[in-house]
Structure 1
Amino acid sequence: MSQTPEAIMLFAAGFGTRMGALTKDCPKAMIHVGGRPLLDHALALADVAGIQRRVVNTHYLADQVEDHLAGRDVAISREQPDILETGGGLRAALPLLGAGPVFTLNTDAIWTGPNPLTALYKAWDPSRMKALLLLVPAERALGHTGPGDFAIGPDGRITRGAGYVYTGAQIIDPTGLSLIRQTSFSLNQLWDRMSGDEALYGTVHKGGWCDVGRPEGIAEAEAMLANPPALLG
């Protein structure tokens, strides 16, 4: 089994409740930022990174997402009757993704600077890592409040704490998903197991990142695209 990630899971099943009226009749992944849907921004990152096996999960207003992707080389993992969250959704999509570690990417963010998937690929070391999360310093996380999700040690291992925000992009070995008994669950459960094994790592995105989880995030993301922040050294 290859330890080089060759497939990507793009999460597009969520209800987008924080978007309020904007997602009453439109899935969050189809909200436009800078003239195109969030989902297309995410797929463009996969295209540039050369990831050919792509899977998108759907649940809320699934037909809209699936119609948008019709005729494109993207597999659909439809979650019915219940939404499965990130962990359950990834596990359900594994037959489409294939064996070995995979990229996962949330579709509700906008990026500037280096391609986040390429950066993860370059930093991935399967001899040490079970997951590699892409992070941004909390003070550079547009559209996001709070002190952060993780702290990074000098060797790149991460633990729960303040300082860095998870961007929604990672490489992960999904093997441990088989040990979780719930049907619907967050990937946080798998990360916590990996952290206990000292195999949870992080790397820092050098460009801009904006969470488009709330209506005001749309304008913030478009302003960032028009005037990208300086790259981290």
Structure 2
Amino acid sequence: MRNLPRSLMLFAAGFGTRMAALTAHQPKPLIKVAGRALIDHALNLTDEAGIAQVVVNIHYRGDQLREHLAGRGIAISDETDRILETGGGLRKALPLLGEGPVYTLNSDAVWTGANPLRELGAAWEGGEMRALLLLGRAGQIRGRRGAGDFSLDEAGRISRGGDLTYLGAQILCPEGLHDIPEDVFSLNRLWDVQIAEGTAFGVIHEGLWCDVGHPEGIQIAEEMIA
């Protein structure tokens, strides 16, 4: 049974330190690319994919994000007192997300081509598939330097190392988060368990992707989507 997710966690709590002065007075998700806030680019993808429940976590300048999202039917997971990273943040938000697998999406990227959430939904099989990460090849990546993150085997399972880059979108079964004792931790902790079990898979995005986590990424993204 495929058991498609009905909810999505949108990560928006980071400090945006790579953005330097651009985040001195506003959170990174409110930085505009092509006249639209980064978080609105992400929410446009959730609207197109028909996601029923969206949860956004907030920390740095969280009051601005709360005001920006007011009246839009979006649940807020408040990390004002303590930022929890991706793993701790997702675990805190689970009561708002509900049971079963969830989508997660980073808010500091811009996409072209197929809707990444629809791509994930089409490839999700459930069963032994406990994680499905959206990946990109080197020629699809804009605004990011460095090595890739993962490789794919013939069955679509991921392993660490290789030339495929994680694009910040996935479907994940989050139950294993409760087995991690720390309060603050990355989702990499859960991925490592799932990779070892052979239950973590990947699928290649059909389109381009730009990292807008640094100032240069704004112009690169605007040129990409123009």
TM-score bin (small chain): over 0.9
2:145 is matched with 145
Distance 2:21 2:34 in 1: 19
Distance 1:139 1:219 in 2: 18
Distance 1:16 1:47 in 2: 25
1:164 is matched with 164
1:107 is matched with 107
Distance 1:120 1:114 in 2: 10
C-alpha RMSD of matched pairs (Å): 1.1
Deviations for 1:14-64, whole angstroms, at most 9, x for unmatched residues?
Answer: 000000000011100000001010000000000000002000000000000
Contact 2:140 2:207 in 1 (8 A): no
1:129 is matched with 129
1:186 is matched with 186
Deviation at 1:139? 3.3
2:218 aligned partner, one-letter code: I
Deviation at 1:209? 0.3
1:182/1:106 CA distance change after superposition, 3 Å: same
> Runs (4+) of structure 1 moved beyond 4 Å?
none
Deviations for 1:173-228, whole angstroms, at most 9, x for unmatched residues?
Answer: 000000000001000000000001000100000101000011000000000001xx
Deviations for 1:58-94, whole angstroms, at most 9, x for unmatched residues?
Answer: 0000000000001111000010311000000000000
Contact 1:11 1:86 in 2 (8 A): yes
SS of the residue 2:94 aligns to: helix
1:143 aligned partner, one-letter code: G
1:25 is matched with 25
Contact 2:191 2:200 in 1 (8 A): yes
Contact 1:2 1:100 in 2 (8 A): no
1:66 is matched with 66
Deviation at 1:2? 8.4
Contact 1:138 1:147 in 2 (8 A): no
2:154 aligned partner, one-letter code: P
Deviation at 1:138? 2.5
Contact 1:142 1:211 in 2 (8 A): yes
Deviation at 1:147? 1.9
Distance 1:194 1:12 in 2: 25
SS of the residue 1:135 aligns to: strand
In structure 2, runs of 5+ residues without a counterpart are: none
TM-score by length of 2: 0.98
Residue 13, structure 1, aligned to residue 24, structure 2? no
Distance 1:10 1:212 in 2: 15
1:149 aligned partner, one-letter code: D
